[in-house]
Amino acid sequence: MPELPEVETIKSSLQSNVGVRIVRVELRREDIVRQKDFAIGEIEGQTITALERRAKFLDFSLADGRHLVLHMGMSGRIYQAPADQVPAEKHIHLLLFLNNGRCLVYQDPRRFGGVWLLDKTERLFSRLGVEPLTAAFTPAYLSRAVKGRKIAIKSLLLDQRLISGIGNIYADEALFAAGIRPQRPAGSLNEEELKALVRAVKKVLRQGIRQRGTTFRDFRDGDNRVGTFQNYLQVYGRGEEPCRHCGQPLQVERVGGRSAHFCPHCQK
Partner DNA sequence: CGCTAGTCCTGTCTGC
Partner DNA sequence: TGCAGACAGGACTAGC
- Catalytic residue annotation: 2-3, 56, 258
Can you tell me which of 27, 179, 216, 225 binds DNA, judged by CB under 7 A? 216
**Residue 130: which of 55, 237, 67 has the closest Cα?**
55
Residue 168 sits at φ, ψ, to 5 deg, of: -60, -40
CB 167: neighbour CB atoms within 10 A?
21
Could you tell me where the DSSP H helices lie in 114-263?
122-125, 139-146, 153-158, 168-178, 191-210
Asked if 2 is part of the footprint of DNA (rule: CB under 7 A), the reply reads yes
Q: How far apart are the first and last CA of the chain?
A: 28
- In the list 132, 208, 213, 222, the residue contacting DNA (rule: CB under 7 A) is 213
Find the binding residues for DNA in span 17-56 (CB under 7 A).
Answer: 55-56
Q: Does 169 bind DNA (CB under 7 A)?
A: yes
As measured in angstroms, the least distance from the Cβ of 12 to DNA is: 16
195 binds DNA (CB under 7 A): no
Decide: helix, strand or coil at residue 57. Answer: strand
Q: Count of residues binding DNA (CB under 7 A)?
A: 40
- 15 and 50 in contact (C-beta within 8 Å)? no
- Indicate which single residue of 129, 167, 208, 222 sits in contact with DNA (rule: CB under 7 A): 167
- Residue 55 CB, shortest distance to DNA, in Å, is 6
Q: How far is CA 111 from CA 31, 35, 175, 264, in A?
A: 9, 15, 29, 36
- Interacting stretch for DNA, rule CB under 7 A, among 18-26, 38-46, 136-144, 151-159? 151-159
CB closer to DNA out of 70 and 117:
70
**Dihedral sign of CA atoms 243, 246, 252, 256 in order:** negative
Q: In 23-92, which ranges are continuous DSSP H helix?
A: none
The answer to whether residue 259 forms part of the interface with DNA (CB under 7 A) is: yes
Query: Counting contacts by CB under 7 A, is residue 90 touching DNA?
Result: yes
Within 98-138, residue ranges assigned H as helices are 122-125
Chain residues binding DNA by CB under 7 A are 1-3, 6, 55-56, 71, 73-75, 90-91, 109-112, 127, 148-152, 155, 158, 160, 167-169, 185, 213-219, 256-259
